[in-house]
Amino acid sequence: MKSDPPTCISCGSELQSSLAAGQCMACLLQLAKDGQDSMPGGHDPFVSLLEQTRFADYEIESEIARGGMGVVFRARQISLNRPVALKMIIAGQLASPDLVRRFQTEAEAAAKLAHPHIVPIYEVGESETLHFFSMKLIEGENLASLINEYRVQDGTASQVLDRQRRIAKMMLKIANALALAHKHGVLHRDIKPSNILVDVAGEPYLTDFGLAKLTEQTQDTLTRTTAVLGSPSYMSPEQASGDHDQMTTLADIYSFGAVLYELLTGQPPFAGKNAIETIRRVIDQTPERLRSVNERIHPDLETIALRCLQKEPHLRYASAAEVGAELDRFLRGESIEARPVGPFQELWRWAKRNRRVSLLAVTLFLALVCGTVGVAWQSRRATKANETLTEMVATLTWSRITDLVTRGEVRLALTHLARMMRDDPTDWRVAMYAMSVLDQSRCHVPVGPEILHPGQAIITAVQLDPTGRILATGSEDKTIRLWSVSDSQQIGRPLVFDGVVKSLAFDHSGERLAAVSGKGKLLQVFDVESRQEIRSLRFDNQIVQLEYPSPQPQVVVVEGSSLHVIDLDREDFDQVYDFQQSIAALSLSSDAKRAVLRLNNGEAIAVDVESGTELLRVNEFRIGDATISANGRLVAACENNFGNAAVWDIESGLRKCKLDTHEGEVTNLTFAADGNRLFASSVLQEWVVSYDTHTGLQSGSRMTHAERVTSIHAFDGQRQLMMVSGRNGVRFWDALTGDPSASPVIISKGIVSAGSTESGDLLWTGSCSELGSWHIDSIQLWRLHEPQVPPVLAESPEPYLASAGTVSPDGHWVAANVVQRGSNGYDRVEYVTIVDVTTGETLRDPLPLDSTPYGLAFTPDGSRLLIVTVRGKIYLLSTPDFELIKGPIDSGNPIQPSRMSPTGDRFATGSANGWVAVWDLESLTPIWKERHSDSRLNDLCFSESGRWLGSCSNDGTAKVWDVDSGQVAVTLLGHTDKVYHIKIDEQKQLLATNSDDRRTILWELATGRRITSLEHAVETNSISIHPTKELIVTADRDGRCRLWNTQNGQPVGRPMVHDQPVVALSFSEDGERILAADQSGFRLWDTETQQPLTVLHPHPTQASLGVDSDGCRPVFFDHGNAVFCGTVSYRCQIWRLPPPRGDVPSWCPEFIESIVMQRFPSGSDIPVLVESKQHEQLKTQLSQHPDSDYLRWSRRWLESVNQAD
């Protein structure tokens, strides 16, 4: 039987040849011209239809678009009075049966799909022999017209990333829509930008199923065996070659990748001069890498697109759902599963397509391989050795840096970190750690430019006013100048004198300034604001010392052999005490009621300042230095040249102890605030040592300097010490402990002298531009940066240890346990208080409890707050009013621990006598109650879905319960001691338990089969399973935290070490960071490198409650960007610690170097000093830099320094 001649699939005309796989030339070219009329001769059957405006139940308003098969009108459905898009076959009544069937297939395919991102079908029908269907009208444009708006263009790093995230979000929605179509047996076969509509809200819709194929059809009656269907630039290779046997859902995956490619780059993966050339490129060529077109395209998006565009279908993603999952991982900041196609894979695939050429290439290659294999082997060994060496160097570098921070040498540590940031700006971990070191450091920051007198005249006197507002300087230019502390600018006109200003002193309010000038015999007191002289006194001898010590308007002056106490308000009240011997120096007690006078004859006397009465005379040896304790009870003195030194008690007049000065002569004696320690600097060596004033023996370690200490100043009630040592700068120490209290201040010119306010928050240093000179010609002001500690949200009135605290899922509220003293004076009264995190306000009166809460948790949606107490009472509060809606309900058993279900409708409780119960949250009634054992329960853990509940006990067992039925699903037997923690990972089908038997055991969730055992040197305190990777982290009681591979039980990387036992561990939501809390505070670690991301943030806590329960551990929240601390502690706080995003800007290392005032030159490990003016310059330039996490951090840091202004 003679077969019918072949016809064109698009127009139905008879084919004259088999060119282009069953399509006529006109229709093949039409593939490159979407939207143009395909009817021969320009005939348009819809002109009359538009003229009559009414068709069936529709009123036609305008034409929207045309394709190769159909035309779409904007219309209104009359019966329902709603706008619609009306589609009809473009050939009208002349349509061939094939076109009609194809049109019907499109309607059928779209109608069976219900998805928010697929245009829904309203009606399918035929009227006046014209086939049609109506669908939802999408107000907007097709994606093809928006390519330039979406493609990755120039901009800041954050703008480029935001644009790519916008593309990924859109394509994720299309992938989900496509996955639904495939699930219902529909292949689209024509995915391209013009078939994706975008409404005015930016939501995408997949449309035009004109080439769709229903996979349940036994035979594709709508295509010829060799027909090419689709749009050339977006069709898959099997589609382009007409190989319909290979046409599966994977063809749509390819087209999806082509659209993603064009959205990112602005161009399709293949585009030729005509349709035939484009098809040949699709079949034969590999698409250009996206990052070759635009290097700012994210590597993960490039990998996803190129995986979709693989030539061989089996190498693409297996489904649209997999593509959507990859895009979702990218949007959540997780690692994608696909790996980039390497050059060897590309070469192999090219060779399969070009067999003859590749055979010649392989022959030549084999000839070369034999000659180079030895060299390659040696090169590989060298590369491996270099990689190992690089890893060791990095580990040692980090160890050195963390050791420097631990020892308090943060300046050198930050100098190393700044160099590392400059060498690798992509390493955000280094930047985050450097920020943390600075945030938690006590260091002085330059304030304003250097202060100079005209002509750089020598500055002879410097004094800060006690309020920290004004600095006064006197000079050889015979002037006193006042300077604003906030900006180092001169205030008003100078005060002019007849002679050189020798010394200065402010009163306690900063309103009066006393000055000694001329030959040192003239004392004048001025009103600071008006510059008017209040009083003037001239003495017979040169004034040796001037002090303005107390709130009373009195000035203490040492002149010749006399001590003058001058009342500035009453001229007749001046007191003069003559001690017959010239006075060399004066030291006052903190209340200025007692003083010790060092006489030029080598003696020292302690006197009562108010009466001039001699209280004690010290003359055992020739005294070179003497001082009095803050409380005025002790005198210390040391001998010149021979090293004798001792402490005397003023009340008894007896020597209390002799100092152990066997290592040489000492000077610069200074008492600690409590008088129990005395500090002295070596005359010949570069150290300061402390002595016990009861025994005279050295106490504590030496306070070592690089140069000899020239002076010691006490401040903060003599609790802090400041030591000046020339080019070694100024160093700060805690007088009570002998530990460093702040980072040193070092400048290139060296420091001749220094002073501070009594509080120590402001510092001045005096230097000389002439090396070796002891004169001062410039002053630099500094402000102390205190460690940044968040506000306390809740704490007990007295230092009672509270057991529990929690933060709402959105971070708006904190619920915390507070404790008060009972009415009898010794009982504890327990409460829960609710605090607004933003304002710090308490939202309700404290809720009294019957006993200590051992469970405190918000529901996942934040609508309820559950409180469970150790005596078994249960309370349920509503939010945001925090009213008690149920309770207290008596559970019938003591409760510890408790755990909220991830579903938020249930919670579980355990008890000391081994009972496990699951409760309905709203009714607070038990769903079931079963006994785990007779021993105390230590932990409860729900699986992610809430289906399973794990429990563990002191009897050494753990169990998994079916939450719905209360039946035991698995019993875990294998530990030989108490089991303290149980964790469930339902996705990995993994259980983890740890015990006092020094083992962590990993189990299979479904069967309870033991997978592996992790052996520890000591007992473990905590465990946590990584949210996505095959990792678990454990915390040993020796302070070591360790990552392990859950598949083979082997340790991963290096241990993360704390100085104290770590009591709590958890991963961040993305698994990139680890929170480890010990008894002093917490720090964050990087999961990938095991490097610290922060220093230890102080938050003292008790070792453990013995159980793990909701609200009893520090936790991550806000997607791992914040940490809540308030459990087993004295206070509640929230620390915001987001990792910085983007590369480190070039100015950031310079900013850190300007703070620590040193840097490493290129290629050198010896730091050089940075001038203080660089810090001022960088501060002024911050406004010129683009916004970034680094810029916002630097501004916050500077604001924290200036809060005292």
Retrieve residue 1079's tokens: 């008894």
Helix axes of 410-423 and 355-406: crossing angle, nearest 10 degrees:
170
- Tell how far CA 139 is from the center of its chain: 42
Span between the terminal Cα atoms of the chain, in Å:
103
Given a contact cutoff of 8 angstroms between Cβ atoms, the answer to whether 264 and 152 are in contact is yes
CB 430 within 8 A of CB 1148: no
Cα torsion 438, 439, 444, 445: sign: positive
Report the candidate in 291, 226, 236, 286 with the shortest Cα–Cα distance to residue 259: 236
Q: For residue 1033, give both structure tokens.
A: 């982290």
Q: How far is CA 1190 from the centre of its chain?
A: 11
Q: What angle do CA 827, 828, 832 make, to 5 degrees?
A: 155
List of residues 6+ apart from 1021 with CB closer than 8 A: 980, 1035, 1036, 1037, 1061, 1062, 1063, 1064, 1104
Active-site choice (190, 625, 716, 997): 190
Whether the CB-CB separation of 50 and 63 falls below 8 Å is answered with: yes
Distance CA 250, CA 902 (A): 37
What Rg, from alpha-carbon coordinates, does the chain have? 41
Sheet containing strand 543-547, edge to edge, reads 543-547, 554-559, 562-567, 575-578
Q: Which two tokens stand for residue 843?
A: 């939202």
Catalytic: 190? Answer: yes
Both structure tokens of 1009: 């089969």
Percent helix, strand, coil in the chain, to 5, is 20, 35, 45
DSSP state of 782: E
Q: Residue 1055: is the preceding peptide bond cis (ω within 30°)?
A: no
Q: Which of 559, 477, 574, 478 is nearest to 521 (CA)?
A: 559
The residues near 720 (Cβ < 8 Å, ≥ 6 apart) are: 714, 732, 733, 734, 735, 741, 760
- Tell me if residue 1141 falls in helix, strand or coil: coil
DSSP H or E segment with residue 1116: strand 1115-1117
Distance, CA of 206 to CA of 188 (rounded, Å): 10
Give DSSP secondary structure letters for 143-191. GGGGHHHHS--SS-HHHHHHHHHHHHHHHHHHHHHHHHHHHTTEE----
Question: What b/e string do you get for 595-615 counting C-beta neighbours within 10 Å, with b at 16 or more?
Answer: bbbbbeebbbbbbebeeeeeb
Task: Give CA–CA dist 485/1201, Å, rounded.
Answer: 13
Helix 299-308 × helix 320-331 angle, to 10°: 180
- Transcribe 701-723 into DSSP letters: --EE-SS---EEEEETTTTEEEE
Distance CA 123, CA 134 (A): 5
Q: 918-954: buried (b, 16+ CB within 10 Å) or exposed (e) per residue?
A: bbebeebeeeebeebbebbbbbbbbbeebbbbbbbbb
Residues facing residue 1002 across a β-bridge: 992, 1012
Catalytic residue list = 190
